């Protein structure tokens, strides 16, 4: 007999609102104790449209939650040494709790050098090798915001993960790799058996068809289709790609890596794009910045 499941939406608006409310309350508690507001400093190099949007929403969320924020805008032609000096100044500034440099950076700047220059105690993006090493070892660490946001989402909707088979598509340092570590870690919403797929994976559909949980983070719109998913799977769509769309005011639409129309009817839970993981990412960044401030005080 076929198994029919009722699909439920993992609504990023609901889950991120709960996270933001919790963070705002904790900021108020700090204020009542005479502690300063958490302070996030962001650096934006150049004028890439998507990066501008991301940074603007991070700064706006800081305001909403009672954080202090500083945005340093640098010209796209800024050289690497100058950028590193700015980061060093923020490292040395006792008033700043968290530093983020919006990626991607212009080609003439080494992302690795930039990431390594941010002091690990202020590395709220969780990309520094020290943060990654601590995460791998199960030690307290800043967790990269997107996978952290997904873990918070699983927790919010109380989706059981222990003993499940999770397939993560993508192995980037920002999403896929840390996601696979978190899902396999001994955490309340971890304990999965994890398969990591990437551009050289030979039998991807065979693997996704075995998955109880799929995290699609490859940046190819509509890649995961209904025939690649088993009935009742939990499907998390990380993809954000701007696809030209003349019917939209901005001239583009945001597309995820999941073909929602064919996958949703087969899944037990699914994230929408937009309105899913992206909103959680900002909430998780705020959690990291608050944690940085707490550790410093
Ligand atoms: P990336 O380009 O660094 O990595 C993509 C990964 O996908 C690589 O590891 C590659 O091996 C794998 N891949 C590519 N083609 C594949 C294929 N055909 N089959 C299997 N694997 C394949 O990208 P990223 O930074 O990890 O981001 C992935 C997507 O997530 C992008 O759309 C990005 O915009 C989005 N993203 C969203 C958020 C958010 O907040 N929602 C945050 C970060 C990234």
What pLDDT, on a 0 to 100 scale, did the predictor assign at position 5? 62
The pLDDT assigned to 4 comes to 52
Distance from C-alpha of 153 to C-alpha of 123, rounded to nearest angstrom: 22
Q: How far is the CA of 257 from the centre of ligand 1 (A)?
A: 9
Cα 170 to ligand 1 centre (Å): 5
Distance, CA of 94 to CA of 91 (rounded, Å): 8
* Number of other residues whose CB lies within 10 A of the CB of residue 295: 12
- Alpha carbon of 41 to ligand 1 centroid (Å): 26
The pTM of the full predicted model, rounded to 2 decimals, is 0.96
Mean pLDDT per segment of 10 residues, for the chain of length 297 residues?
73 98 97 97 95 95 97 97 98 98 97 98 98 97 98 98 98 98 97 98 98 98 98 98 93 96 98 97 97 94
Q: Which of 102, 212, 255, 266 is catalytic?
A: 102
- pLDDT value of position 297: 85
Ligand 1 lined by 270 (C-beta under 6 Å):
no
Q: Is 102 a catalytic residue?
A: yes
The reply to whether ligand 1 has any atom less than 6 angstroms from the CB of 217 is yes
Q: Which of 144, 229, 138, 147 is nearest to 187 (CA)?
A: 138
Q: Tell me the angle at which helices 12-32 and 145-156 cross, rounded to the nearest 10 degrees.
A: 100
- Quick check: is 113 catalytic? no
Domains in the chain: ranges and CATH: 34-119 (3.40.50.10860), 144-277 (3.40.50.720)
Q: What is the pLDDT of residue 6?
A: 83
């Amino acid at each position: 007999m076929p198994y029919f499941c009722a699909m439920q939406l993992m609504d990023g608006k609901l889950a991120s609102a709960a996270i933001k409310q919790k963070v705002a309350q904790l900021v108020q508690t700090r204020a009542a104790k005479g502690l300063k507001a958490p302070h996030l400093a962001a650096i934006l190099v150049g004028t890439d449209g998507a990066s501008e949007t991301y940074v603007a929403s991070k700064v706006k969320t800081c305001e909403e939650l009672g954080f202090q924020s500083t945005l340093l805008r640098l010209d796209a032609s800024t050289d690497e040494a100058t950028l590193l000096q700015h980061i060093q100044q923020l490292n040395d500034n006792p008033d700043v709790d968290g530093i983020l440099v919006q990626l991607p950076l212009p080609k003439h700047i080494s992302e690795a050098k930039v990431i390594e220059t941010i002091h690990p105690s202020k590395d709220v993006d969780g990309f520094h090798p020290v943060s990654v090493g601590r995460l791998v070892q199960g030690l307290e660490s800043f967790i990269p915001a997107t996978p952290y946001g997904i873990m918070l989402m699983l927790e919010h909707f109380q989706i059981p993960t222990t003993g499940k088979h999770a397939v993560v598509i993508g192995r980037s340092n920002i999403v896929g790799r840390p996601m696979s570590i978190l899902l396999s870690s001994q955490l309340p919403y971890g304990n999965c058996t994890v398969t990591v797929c990437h551009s050289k994976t030979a039998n991807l559909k065979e693997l996704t068809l075995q998955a109880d949980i799929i995290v699609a983070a490859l940046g190819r719109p509509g890649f995961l289709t209904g025939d690649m998913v088993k009935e009742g799977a939990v499907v998390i769509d990380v993809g954000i790609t701007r696809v030209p769309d003349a019917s939209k005011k901005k001239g583009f639409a945001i597309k995820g890596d999941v073909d929602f129309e064919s996958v949703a009817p087969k899944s037990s839970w699914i994230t929408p794009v937009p309105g899913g993981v992206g909103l959680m990412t900002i909430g998780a960044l705020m959690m990291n910045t608050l944690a940085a401030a707490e550790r410093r005080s």
